[in-house]
Amino acid sequence: MHPYPELARRAIEEYIKNKKILAPPQNLPEDMKHKAGVFVCLKKHGMLCGCIGTFLPTTENICQEIIRNAISAATEDPRFSSVLAEDLKDLECSVDVLSLPEKVKSISELDPRRYGVIVTKGQRKGLLLPDIEGVDTVDEQLEITKMKAGIEPSDKDVEIYKFVVERYK
């Protein structure tokens, strides 16, 4: 297992079992010292059971972003019940590290396998990670993202941003 999902798993276990936030490792690897948006997704028996993240960094490094978002994915995703101690043995973690979003001039720049998208209109904002099972077209990707933001799927008066992820399992 890559160190990122391993860190996410340790953070969840420490929080679920002991109600403590995992301290970052003393000798932080160089790649964890950078800042980036991070999503932590959890699956149990292959089914999504939590996914929380930040599209821009909110902490001082990737390590802290992973710890914070892992705990949130396990305990605060409103779509799912909180992870329980008995769930830990079956929990799979993945970590997506996001590039900075760039504004899209034309939807021809999008590819749902390669790029995640952010759709905004006023204060409303929705995000969809790339390479999601069952999302095969740009239209599907944008429709889902608009719905997540509370924007009508037919609304064309939106700003669209794209980003890439490095996915670690």
CATH superfamily of 102-168: Hypothetical protein ph0010; domain 2 (3.30.1490.150)
- 123-154 residues labelled b (16+ CB within 10 A) or e (exposed): eebbbbbbeeeebeebeebbbbbbeebebeee
pLDDT digits (tens, 9 = 90+) for 16-47: 999 999 999 889 999 999 999 999 999 999 99
Q: Are domains 3-98 and 102-168 of this chain identical in fold?
A: no
What is the dotted CATH code of the domain comprising 3-98? 3.30.700.20
Q: Is the pLDDT of residue 155 over 90?
A: yes
Give the torsion sign (CA, 137, 168, 23, 46): positive
pLDDT at 161: 98
In three-state secondary structure terms, 88 is helix
**Tokens standing for 35?**
């800042």
The helix (run of H) or strand (run of E) holding residue 119 is strand 116-121
Residue 99 has pLDDT above 90, yes or no: yes
pLDDT in tens, 66-91: 999 999 999 999 999 999 999 999 99
User: Where exactly are the structural domains of the chain?
Assistant: 3-98, 102-168
What share of the chain in percent tops pLDDT 70? 100
DSSP three-state, residue 135? coil
Closest CA to 103 of 162, 56, 21: 162
What pLDDT score was predicted for residue 163? Answer: 98
Residue 122 Cα distances to 40, 59, 141, angstroms? 26, 25, 20
Average pLDDT over residues 45-63: 96
